Amino acid sequence: MKIIVGMADMQVSKEPEAMLISFALGSCIGVALYDPLVRVGGLLHFMLPDSQIDQQKSQKNPWMFADTGIPLFFREAYKLGAEKKRIWVKVVGGSQVLDDSSYFNIGKRNYLALRKIFWTNNVLIHAEDIGGSVNRTIRLEIGSGRVWVRTSGDGEREL
């Protein structure tokens, strides 16, 4: 059962047959979390680092921003029985256009915002495929907890 996670969206599941997938991560970041004991997993696709730029939007759709989306995402997983001490995360995306000026470095700032939130909350990143100028697709198999990343124009590999 394939469940698509769109832009600025999130899904959690404990269905062993479910596969969560998020396409076309450019500067956006896909965060996969998984509790291997209860086999609960989730996938978040956030687009921007900071909800300060549009608070109205963040109330309507918290998944758009790292600061509003990530904490809520974990809470959704807890509701299904996941526990923080067992959860691991894998992150994918955060690409950049070719830019020396840092005007357009949203990918990098997305990643820094995520790192800061994880640092403050003692969450370790288990594996990552971040940066560069590529598009990526991430998928998480709920039954096994395996995470796959596909780079456009290239193959798919397990993360």
Partner 1 sequence: MNLVDCILNSAIQLPPFPAVIQRVLQLVEDPKSSAQEMVDVIQYDQSITANVLRVCNSAHFGLRRPVHSLREAVALIGFDQLVEVILQNNSAQLFSRACPGYDLNDGELWRHSVSCALLSQIISIRLNQAPSPTRFTAALLHDIGKVILSGFVREHFEEIRKLVRDGGCSFSEAEKEVLGIDHAELGGKISERWQFPKAIVFAVRYHHTPLLSPEDHEMVNLIYLCDLVTLMMGIGGGADGLSYHAHKEVLNQNQLSRRDIEQFISQLDEGFKKVEATINLE
- Active-site choice (12, 28, 43, 87): 28
95 lines the binding site for partner 1 (CB under 8 A): yes
**C-alpha 110: how far from chain center:** 11
Amino acid residing at 136: R
Which range binds partner 1 by CB under 8 A, 18-26, 34-42, 84-92, 111-119?
A: 18-26
Q: Does 28 qualify as catalytic in the annotation?
A: yes
Q: Binding partner 1 by CB under 8 A: which of 54, 80, 112, 117?
A: 54
Q: Which is nearer to partner 1, 101 or 120 (CB)?
A: 101
Q: 30: buried, middle or exposed (CB in 10 Å: 19+, 13-18, 0-12)?
A: buried
Identify the CA nearest to 92 among candidates 12, 19, 158, 2. Answer: 158
Q: What is the CA radius of gyration of the chain?
A: 15
Identify the CA nearest to 139 among candidates 111, 159, 110. Answer: 159
107 lines the binding site for partner 1 (CB under 8 A): yes
Residues 65, 50: Cα–Cα separation, whole Å: 6
135 lines the binding site for partner 1 (CB under 8 A): yes
Q: Which is nearer to partner 1, 13 or 95 (CB)?
A: 95
SS3 of residue 87 by DSSP: coil
Catalytically active residues are 28
Residues engaged in binding partner 1 (CB under 8 A)? 7-8, 23-28, 47-48, 50, 53-54, 57, 61, 64, 95-99, 101, 103-104, 106-107, 132-135, 152-154
